[in-house]
Amino acid sequence: MKNQYILFDLDGTLTDPKEGITKSVQYALAKMGIAVDDPDTLCPFIGPPLAESFQKFYQMNEEESLLAVKNYREYFSVRGIFENEVYEGIPEMLKALQEAGRTLIVATSKPTDYAERILEHFQLDDYFDFVAGATMDGSRVRKQDVIQYALEELELIDLSELVMVGDRMHDILGAKEFDIPTIGVLYGYGSREELEKAGAEELAKSVKDLQELLLEED
């Protein structure tokens, strides 16, 4: 059986966090004197590590980006975390995978505490055997570090039955560090071009397509 162990990204793969993340970024920037009138312009922040995005898109230095992340969490931890919605078909897909005996794991650059709260809020937590997220202090935030943490905690040595599912290049590139096959989802926030360039082996246009790919047998 292939795809016995399935690593899922969270934002843009299981849930659509657009409202919460963009409003949190807007709030963080406002506290630093940067006004953003249209939060939709902040969608590129969905997926990558936050500090990295503040540096990339607003030319912040490391100290400034860490302050921006702190500001972001002021809003996100109270309101933005639940300004979020589960993609249509996700609960049904997770149930089908669980019933088929698959081991489901979340691997996200979002802090573990936030990820667990989101999964519990949307009643998705029972589908997952393990949640691997970032640390609040930033010591584990890159996708490859999150994946490594999951592999170590679950004592997974034979990686031939793993697959990583995500919507951004960071998911694909992080998995490739371990030669783990990948599926890029096109209903999230990464483009076909981004995912193909990163080297995704498969692409899923919809949750239905993703379910079919994941339940394929050798």
Active-site residue, 179 included: no
- Mean of the pLDDT values across residues 51-71? 97
Instruction: Give tens-digit pLDDT for 109-130.
Output: 999 999 999 999 999 999 999 9
Asked if 164 contacts 179 with a C-beta cutoff of 8 angstroms, the reply is no
Residue 217: the pLDDT is 64
1 or 170, greater pLDDT: 170
Task: Please indicate, yes or no, whether the overall pTM of this predicted structure exceeds 0.85.
Answer: yes
Domain layout of the chain by residue ranges: 5-16+84-214, 18-82
DSSP 41: G
Class of domain 18-82: mainly alpha
Question: 9, 16, 145, 167: which is the annotated catalytic residue?
Answer: 9
Q: How many CB atoms lie within 10 A of CB 218?
A: 6
Residue 157: the pLDDT is 87
Percent of the chain scoring above 90 in pLDDT: 94
**Residue 81 pLDDT exceeds 50:** yes
Instruction: Give tens-digit pLDDT for 7-55.
Output: 999 999 999 999 999 999 999 999 999 999 999 999 999 988 999 999 9
> Taking the domain 5-16+84-214, which CATH number applies?
3.40.50.1000
**Residue 103 pLDDT exceeds 50:** yes
Rounded distance between C-alpha atoms, residue 93 and residue 99, angstroms? 10
Asked if 170 contacts 14 with a C-beta cutoff of 8 angstroms, the reply is no
**Residue 218 pLDDT exceeds 50:** no
Instruction: Give tens-digit pLDDT for 186-201.
Output: 999 999 999 999 999 9
Name the average pLDDT for the chain: 96
